[in-house]
Structure 1
């Protein structure tokens, strides 16, 4: 069960990254292009939120099922989980802020800012993972 969840968690990150990038591109385009905030924007943001939260849930299950003999145990038990929860909080706040107010530019700006920061945190954590455990790669499924 642990290995299946680990593979799912590792593969799911690509869906999270793709949705985050898509949501950020849409938000930047809407914000800088002064476009309206559409139902399509809302749906992409919602799906991004759902996928990020699903990834966190799988990660939390792995956190509690994890064997204590893994390389870089401190990284997995402290930094990785902390950074990922922080990224999920950023996505949640960005999505919540995009629902408030009537100004489309403010909605797009909130998504661009918070989702962008979350993407930076996630990428930094993945890069740090490859440094802690050289058997893992950014693009390879571990």
Structure 2
């Protein structure tokens, strides 16, 4: 069971990073190009990024509680007994990624209340950009390459 969840979390991470990047680039291009915010494209890209990010968080939380690298590592070794790599997986990665999802969710919620396309694009660009940067800052890169 652990392997399935781990592989899903790892595979979904690539998709989430790609769609968040697409949503960010789309918002920047819409803002700089002074384009209209359309439901067919811009709304759906941003929504898809939000949904996939939240799905990734749910899979990650399940993995965190069934993995020996997550919550059980803290219980077994305590915070002082974790190596830097273990601390990344058990503390920093989950905390920063939850924070990133908070920013992405705030950006989504704020953009819905705005009427001007430029302000919608700007809000998505700022909040999704902060979320993406936070996610990239705490990825376990050593496991990816």
TM-score class normalised by the smaller sequence: 0.7 to 0.9
Q: How far off is 1:81 after superposition?
A: 0.5
What is the distance in 2 between the residues matched to 1:101 and 1:117?
19
User: Could you tell me which of 124, 131, 142 is aligned with 1:111?
Assistant: 124
Gaps of 5+ in 2: 74-81
Deviations 1:109-133 (A, max 9, x none): 000001111111111111xx23xxx
- Taking structure 2 as the reference length, what is the TM-score of the superposition? 0.85
Task: Report what 1:79 is aligned to.
Answer: 92
Q: Check conservation: 2:88, 2:138, Cα contact below 8 A.
A: no
- Taking structure 1 as the reference length, what is the TM-score of the superposition? 0.87
Structure with the greater alpha carbon radius of gyration: 2
The correspondence of residues 45-84 of structure 1 with structure 2, limited to 5 A, is 45-67=46-68, 68=72, 72-84=85-97
Q: Which has the higher helix share?
A: 2
Number of residue-to-residue matches in the alignment:
132
Gaps of 5+ in 1: none
Deviations 1:24-58 (A, max 9, x none): 11101111111111011111111100000000000
Provide the aligned C-alpha RMSD in A: 1.6
The correspondence of residues 1-142 of structure 1 with structure 2, limited to 5 A, is 1-39=1-39, 40-67=41-68, 68=72, 72-126=85-139, 129-130=140-141, 134=142, 136-137=143-144, 140=145
